[in-house]
Every structure is written in C-alpha cells, then in structure tokens.
C-alpha cells in the first residue's frame, strides 16, 4: 500500500471517538456513503440545493437525473428489487415530494426497501403555506413504513442510519426523511451507523420452535401438500430461495408462487406449478383448492390470489410463514401461524425435518392429479401467421433472451400477466413488477434503476402502449445516462385489461378504453435520441427482437399485436379457484355479486 492511499483510507475512516463536524448536507452524503449507497435517483429543486451542492463534490455516488420525481421513485424500487439493497431517491419539497407519493405507496405495498430524501422549506417557514411547501410527513405517513421531519441538524446522522435500518430490516418498506433547507445548511455532529437502533422497533426474525415442529408434523402426514410462496422469499434474500429449493428437494412438495414471488423457485423444475391466482395456471389454482396442506411462505393471501374467500381451499390445513404478524389471519384463518424471516424459518423446518424418522405419505397420486390438470394446457392459444399474438411475442422474447443475464420489468395490465405466464424465471431478483399497487408507468423507470445496478445485463421493460405513455419521459433519462434499456411495447391499441373487463362485466360497452392518438413510437424513440423498431409480422418478429438485443442503446420496440386478445385463463371476481375461465369469455361468467368486486 502506498503512502498516498494510506492517508486517504485514514481520512475516510477516522477513529470513532473523533467528533466530526460538518453541514447537514454533508452529513446526508456521508451517511449515504457509510450505508454503501453507490447510486441515487433524483431531481433538484430549491429546497434541496444544499444537498445537491454537497453531491457535486461526491464523485463516488452516482446521481441519475430523472425527468419526473415519480420516475426517481420507481427507479429506486427497480434498483432495490434487482439487488436486494436499499434504493435511494432525492427530491425537493412540495411537488417533488407529492410526485413521490405513488412510488412510496408502491414500495409499501410490495415491501421494497427504499429511503426517500425530501427537501423541505426552512423550519421558520413551515406551516406558513410557503412556496413549494407541503406537509410531506403528513402526506406520506400512511404510505410509508416510517417517516421523519428533521428539525435539528444534530439528529440528522442518527435519523439517516435509523431510516436505512428500518427500510431494510423486518418487512422492508419505504422510509421518508424530510429535511428543511436550514437544517441542510446548519453545522452539526456526524455519528456513524454502529450502535444505531430504535428501542421500539424489534422485528421477529427467528420462528418459535413449537411452530416449526407443528409445520413439520403436518408435512409428515400430508398426502397432497403445496407450497404457496410470495415476495417475502425474494425479500428475505437469495439464501431463502436456496433453502426453499432444498426443502422442496427433500419433501417433493409442488410449488406455486404469487406474481411477486416469481423466480424464487426455478420455472424449469418439474414440480413448478406456475403462478397462481386470477390469471394463474389451472394446475396451480386447482392444487391450491384441493390440497390437504398449504404452506404459505412470505405471501399475504391477496384478493388476486384467493379469489372467493369463502370457497378458498376448503379442505386444507394452512401454515402461514410471515415476518409481519399482521399479515397472519388477516384474510384467511390459518392453523399454524409462524412469525419469522423466510430464510430463518425454512432453515429451521429443514433442520427439524432431518430429525424426524418415519415415512411420509406417498405423493404420487397427488402428482398424478397435478399432471392431469397440467395436461389441460391452460395457457394454450390459437397462434396466427398473419398477426402477432401477444402470448407468442412474450414466448419469442423469452426464447431469444433466456440464455443471457436478463432482467424483466413490466407495466400493469394484460401485458404484465402475459409476461408472468410466458416469461419463465430461474433465479430471484430477475422480475420487477408492481404487484400490490398495480402502478401503470412503473416498468420503464424501474428498468432504468435495474440497468444502473446491472450495467452489463439485458434489461427489458415489457409494456403496453397505454402504460408506457404514463411515465414515458424516462426514456430520455436512459438516453442521457447511456442505459441501454429495451422497452418492448405490446401495442394492441387498447387499455387491454380495462377492455377485457368491459367485455366481461359491462356488455362490451368499451367506455374510454381505446388508445386514441398513439404516438409513432419509432419516431418518438428517434426524437428522444434512442432507437425505434416496429414489427407487425410474426415472421419478422425473431429478427427484430435480435436487432433490439444487439442495439447498444435504449430501444423502443413497437410490437403490433392482436387487438382484442383476452388474457386467460382467468378466475373472475367472486369465483373460486376451481371456477376458472379457460377458453373464451362469453359474458355470463360473473354473478351480480362478483361485478361489485374489483
């Protein structure tokens, strides 16, 4: 080590006893550095200028300038979801903060670790309806895991470290820090992250031994069990996915997953049932309905998963493993609640299982039944030589990209469900989608965040022509920062899922769901400094997808698909898992009671 680097290292890591005095803005940057933040997504403005000034002399933290604060939030989510690290966004007061409300809520619903730094008007102006003032902590109180208004610069370092602790531990979520401009200018003491804790915040990660033993008792006697896994397995880290695979290998239990949990279990595995729920597979939903033991790992019995709750899996014993006690017995009463981290609990179950002697029931009859359901081939569709079917488009995209390091994000709607059905994942953290909140416009900024985290990877936003127009300006962000994201638009000229529901529920009265005045996406891509590709011929699709992959820069791909294709199979609202629509929608599937549901 040379003398020069030694000095540098010492400067960066002074002894903990040495008080470090700096401005609030410098405290923010130093805390980000200590937390290992290498990228943040943001947009400057009056109330956040001192932090931007400090950022000017922090070349080790890259700042991605977005076009709209919502884009910064979703980009931070994409970054977080694809790395397991905490995403960070930096925005100004007032409109900067209110534009962040959607991504904060999105991260809350999907349990994504994120720290949002907001500028605020100086403390003496708070409450005076000052220019660009809003009650940020009031507005974000119910949509964040926690939030802070820092009024004393000497609290700032502690709050920064506490925010990262809270965002990334327990059930992860977004934490908002509102920092008035005078606090950014004021001088105070920096403290490091060691020893930071919050006495009232104590997530339970280790499961109770009794609960683990009860789970294993059920596994030892079940003849038709199923694993129902969710985003909690991904959030728990790659070790949880590995342990799930180990436990599955030991027990042979078939696995289904929610939209959020795709990738935790490899889609190529013979015991993979596919996604469950409203647009899930026939075999997954029937297995859920007919099983005698359901082991829910890090999922939350969302209404898109359960269908009609009073007919939900009537004959099974239910186990629910979740780090958040409030998720347990919220929607469905379970027999064995296990509060704990997914990885810690799966490991404890594996250990307990290894201790047991005795033979477990044979699962072959159950697997035979599953094969019979699988043979219904529920995702079958009628392909065409003349028009590109959306299912075919995703299938080809999958075949041509599966052997690369590929990350997929989506917007929200039919294309999202087709992506979940036809794109298959072998690893966790490869699939980024807005599940809980269902935010149209999530996919492109998320792809920006993913590409920042994985510069060499192929990042594709599978989009619809309606969703993409919601936060489309972030294509310009990708161009500026040389992020070669690919936006694969399945353009059917309709808000497809809205159109499908209007067909199903409202007698084909297509009220305001047609996409009028769609931009010329090829010219648009060129105008923004990217590359545009159009394809409307199934025979040319492979070649054009290859062109998209080969292009070293951002691409808008306008894939013209069948206009009125429905996303099937489907459990209509108010129906049970074994009442799926498989072939065609007739318009008589939904009862009056079901029509009132969302």
Partner 1 sequence: MSDGTSGAPGNPKSAYFLSHADEEVERRTLAVLVDNEPGVLARVVGLFSGRGYNIDSLTVAEVDASQHRSRITIVTQGTPHILEQIEAQLLRIVPVGEVIDITKSKRGIERELALIKVAGTGEVRVEALRIAEIFRARVIDTTNESFIFELTGASDKISQFIDLMRPLGLVEVSRTGVLSIKRGKEQG
| Binding footprint of partner 1 on the chain (CB under 8 A) | 137-138, 141-142, 145-147, 149, 166, 198-201, 308-315, 318, 324-326, 328-334, 574-576, 578-579, 591-594
Minimum CB distance to partner 1 smaller for 217 or for 579: 579
Report the run of H or E that residue 180 belongs to, with start and end. strand 174-180
Give the SS3 label for residue 514: strand
Query: Would residue 181 show up in a list of annotated catalytic residues for this protein?
Result: yes
Minimum CB distance to partner 1 smaller for 333 or for 523: 333
Minimum CB distance to partner 1 smaller for 171 or for 389: 171
> What residues have CB less than 8 Å from 144, skipping those under 6 apart?
104, 108, 116, 173, 174, 175, 176
Query: Would residue 132 show up in a list of annotated catalytic residues for this protein?
Result: yes
Catalytic pick from 26, 30, 34, 69? Answer: 69
Sheet with strand 531-535: strands edge to edge: 431-432, 406-410, 458-464, 486-491, 555-560, 531-535
Taking a C-beta distance cutoff of 8 angstroms, is the pair 587, 504 a contact? Answer: yes
Minimum CB distance to partner 1 smaller for 107 or for 446: 107
Query: Would residue 131 show up in a list of annotated catalytic residues for this protein?
Result: yes
CB of 74 to partner 1, least distance (A): 24
CB of 166 to partner 1, least distance (A): 6
Minimum CB distance to partner 1 smaller for 57 or for 199: 199
Catalytic pick from 6, 8, 56, 131? Answer: 131
Catalytic pick from 22, 260, 417, 497? Answer: 497
Minimum CB distance to partner 1 smaller for 52 or for 312: 312
Catalytic pick from 100, 133, 181, 414? Answer: 181
- Alpha-carbon distances, residue 401 vs 34, 394, 406, 408, 457 (angstroms): 37, 10, 7, 10, 11
SS (H, E, C) 411-472: CCCHHHHHHHHHCCCCCCCCEECCCCCCCCCCHHHHHHHHHHHCCCCEEEEEEECCHHHCCC
Query: Would residue 547 show up in a list of annotated catalytic residues for this protein?
Result: no
Peptide bond into 569 cis (omega under 30): yes
Q: 193: which 2 tokens? A: 């992250």
CB of 328 to partner 1, least distance (A): 8
Taking a C-beta distance cutoff of 8 angstroms, is the pair 511, 494 a contact? Answer: no
CB of 198 to partner 1, least distance (A): 7
CB of 594 to partner 1, least distance (A): 5
C-alpha to C-alpha distance for 157 and 160, rounded to whole angstroms? 5
Q: 58: which 2 tokens? A: 């922090």
CB of 334 to partner 1, least distance (A): 7
C-alpha to C-alpha distance for 297 and 229, rounded to whole angstroms? 5
Query: Would residue 395 show up in a list of annotated catalytic residues for this protein?
Result: no
C-alpha to C-alpha distance for 230 and 234, rounded to whole angstroms? 8
Minimum CB distance to partner 1 smaller for 209 or for 309: 309
Minimum CB distance to partner 1 smaller for 29 or for 571: 571
| Measured distance between the N- and C-terminal CA atoms of the chain, rounded to whole angstroms | 63
Q: What are phi and psi of 395, to 5 degrees?
A: -60, -45
C-alpha to C-alpha distance for 595 and 577, rounded to whole angstroms? 17
C-alpha to C-alpha distance for 120 and 247, rounded to whole angstroms? 49
Catalytic pick from 132, 204, 369, 473? Answer: 132
CB of 34 to partner 1, least distance (A): 21
Q: 117: which 2 tokens? A: 């730094």
Neighbours of 344 (CB within 10 A): 20
CB of 302 to partner 1, least distance (A): 14
If we measure between CA atoms, which residue out of 214, 383, 370 comes closest to residue 285? 370
What is the set of active-site residues?
A: 69, 131-132, 181, 497
């Amino acid at each position: 080590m040379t003398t020069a680097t030694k000095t540098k290292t010492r400067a960066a890591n002074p002894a903990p006893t040495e008080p470090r005095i700096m401005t609030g803005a410098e405290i923010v940057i130093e805390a980000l550095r200590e937390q290992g933040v290498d990228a943040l997504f943001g947009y400057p403005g009056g109330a956040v200028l001192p932090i931007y000034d400090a950022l000017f002399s922090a070349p080790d933290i890259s700042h991605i300038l977005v076009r709209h604060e919502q884009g910064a939030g979703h980009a931070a989510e994409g970054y977080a979801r694809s790395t397991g690290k905490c995403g960070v966004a930096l925005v100004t007061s007032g409109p900067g903060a209110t534009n962040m409300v959607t991504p904060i809520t999105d991260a809350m619903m999907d349990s994504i670790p994120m720290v949002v730094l907001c500028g605020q008007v100086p403390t003496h102006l708070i409450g005076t309806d000052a220019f660009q003032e809003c009650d940020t902590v009031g507005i974000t109180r119910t949509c964040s895991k926690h939030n802070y208004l820092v009024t004393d610069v000497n609290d700032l370092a502690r709050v920064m470290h506490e925010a990262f602790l809270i965002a990334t531990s327990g059930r992860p979520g977004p934490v908002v820090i509102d920092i008035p401009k005078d606090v950014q200018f004021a001088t105070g003491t920096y403290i490091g992250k060691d020893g930071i804790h919050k006495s009232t915040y104590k997530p339970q990660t280790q499961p109770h031994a009794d609960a683990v033993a009860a789970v294993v008792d059920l596994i030892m006697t079940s003849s038709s069990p199923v694993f129902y896994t969710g985003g909690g397995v991904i959030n728990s880290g790659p070790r949880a996915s590995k342990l799930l695979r180990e436990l599955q290998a030991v027990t042979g239990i078939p696995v289904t997953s929610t939209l959020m949990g795709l990738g935790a279990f490899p889609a190529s595995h013979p015991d993979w049932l596919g996604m469950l729920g409203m647009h899930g597979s026939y075999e997954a939903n029937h297995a859920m309905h007919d099983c005698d033991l359901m082991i829910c790992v890090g999922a939350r019995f969302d209404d898109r998963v359960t269908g009609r709750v009073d007919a939900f899996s009537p004959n099974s014993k239910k186990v629910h493993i979740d780090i958040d006690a409030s998720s347990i017995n919220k929607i469905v009463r379970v027999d064995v609640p296990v509060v704990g981290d997914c990885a810690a609990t799966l490991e404890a179950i594996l250990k307990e299982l290894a201790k047991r002697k005795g033979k477990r029931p044979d699962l072959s009859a159950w697997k035979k039944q599953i094969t019979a359901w699988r043979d219904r081939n529920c995702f079958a569709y009628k392909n065409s030589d003349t028009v590109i079917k959306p299912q075919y488009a995703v299938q080809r995209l999958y075949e041509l990209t599966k052997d690369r390091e590929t990350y997929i994000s989506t917007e929200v709607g039919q294309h999202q469900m087709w992506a979940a059905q036809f794109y298959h994942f072998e690893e966790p953290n490869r699939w980024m989608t807005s599940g809980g909140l269902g935010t149209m416009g999530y996919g492109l900024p998320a792809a920006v965040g993913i590409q920042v985290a994985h510069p060499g990877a192929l990042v594709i936003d599978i989009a619809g022509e309606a969703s993409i127009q919601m936060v489309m300006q972030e294509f310009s962000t990708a161009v500026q920062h040389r992020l070669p994201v690919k936006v694969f638009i399945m353009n059917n000229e309709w808000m497809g899922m809205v159109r499908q529901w209007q067909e199903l529920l409202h007698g084909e009265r297509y009220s305001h769901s047609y996409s009028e005045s769609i931009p010329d996406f090829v010219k648009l891509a060129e105008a923004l400094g990217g590359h545009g590709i159009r394809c409307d011929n199934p025979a040319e699709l492979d070649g054009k997808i290859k062109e998209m992959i080969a292009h070293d820069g951002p691409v808008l791909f306008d894939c013209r698909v069948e206009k009125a294709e429905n996303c099937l199979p489907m459990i209509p609202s108010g129906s049970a898992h074994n009442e799926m629509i498989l072939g065609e929608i007739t318009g008589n599937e939904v009862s009056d009671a079901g029509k009132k549901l969302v």
